[in-house]
Structure 1
Amino acid sequence: MVNQALGVTITRIALGMILFAHCYFLKVDTFTIDGTVGFFASIGLPAIAAHLIIAAEILGGMVLILGAFTRLAAWLSLPILIGAAWMHLGNNWVFSAKGGGWEFPILLVALAMAVELGGAGKYAIDNLDWMKHSNFTQSTAEQATA
């Protein structure tokens, strides 16, 4: 049985859950917001960047889980995820390496690209009638079948 709508939906929800949980439990709960700001400062990034990334990952994760503004949320997560992969390049491939490797961030980049290209899937807020009129919420394939 092939069910592309369900496959795309699962991919979208998985990406949203990972973005939300990783940000909340690591950056907010474990490291704290002040600790995350301190880390960003240690690598030369301003405090506002830490706050924006925390907000983007938490809000982006939530809207991806719900399937609202899916393509936009996936597209906007790409610079954050590419930045995360870049930060781990010198730590080796495997994520269990000291400092974390780049395999997991690259997987998240691929998931975000798949969600951006594939759209929300059948089971999403984006598919409610009032959302279908926004071209940035649906992929070309979804618009053709709407």
Structure 2
Amino acid sequence: MKKNSSVDLATLIIRIAFGVMYLAHGLTKLLVFTPSGTAAYFTSLGFPALLGYLVIAFEIGGGILLLAGFFTRLIALLAVIEMITISQIHSVNGWTFSNPGGGWEYPAFMAFIALALMFLGSGKLKLNRLFHHNDFNNN
């Protein structure tokens, strides 16, 4: 396998894994915690309730866009900001996410994965290549 092919395949794997996780977290907030429950949790943290709804939309929409390979760098940048914020919120609970209230290990890991995607972009293996669409990723 050529080096470029390996990088494109690795980028695809990271993008799909992150997209699936993002989509799953958004769907969990939508279907399990419910939008009003998510908004109430955000309010309990001192954020406006509206942010809870926006996060649900971002995680579901962003997950779908990542899976397709659209706007990967932008989604990844916003995800880095979100995951760093979540890491700070959970930092009082300790390192491991299995701690009561969840620790900061998992969101910190997700922040680093998002940061890698921000630098990698979508890679060549993406849906918009099938349609000859060129987003701002330039790859």
* Contact 1:81-1:106 at 8 Å conserved across structures: yes
- Aligned CA RMSD, in angstroms, stands at 1.5
> Percent identity between the aligned chains?
39
Cα deviation, 1:14-71, whole Å, max 9, x if unaligned, reads 111101101212x112211111111111111111111111111110011001111111
Tell me which amino acid in the other structure corresponds to 2:35. Answer: I
Q: Which moved more, 1:1-10 or 1:106-115?
A: 1-10
Q: Unmatched 5+ residue regions in structure 1?
A: none
1:114-125 equivalent positions in 2, closer than 5 A: 114-125=116-127
TM-score normalised by L of structure 1:
0.86
Cα deviation, 1:81-115, whole Å, max 9, x if unaligned, reads 11111111011111111111111101110111111
Partner of 2:99: 97
Runs of 4+ in structure 1 off by over 3 angstroms are 126-130
State yes or no: 1:23 paired with 2:18.
Answer: no
Partner of 2:70: 68
* Contact 1:6-1:123 at 8 Å conserved across structures: yes
**37, 54, 57: which is aligned to 2:56?**
54
SS at match of 1:137: coil
Tell me which amino acid in the other structure corresponds to 1:54. Answer: I
SS at match of 1:120: coil
* Contact 1:19-1:58 at 8 Å conserved across structures: yes
Give me the whole-angstrom Cα distance separating, in 1, the residues matched to 2:89 and 2:83: 10
Give me the whole-angstrom Cα distance separating, in 2, the residues matched to 1:58 and 1:127: 22
Give me the whole-angstrom Cα distance separating, in 2, the residues matched to 1:126 and 1:108: 25
Give me the whole-angstrom Cα distance separating, in 2, the residues matched to 1:12 and 1:131: 18
* Contact 2:97-2:105 at 8 Å conserved across structures: yes
**Post-superposition shift, 1:129?**
6.2
Aligned length: 136
TM-score normalised by L of structure 2:
0.90
Q: Unmatched 5+ residue regions in structure 2?
A: none
Give me the whole-angstrom Cα distance separating, in 2, the residues matched to 1:96 and 1:44: 23
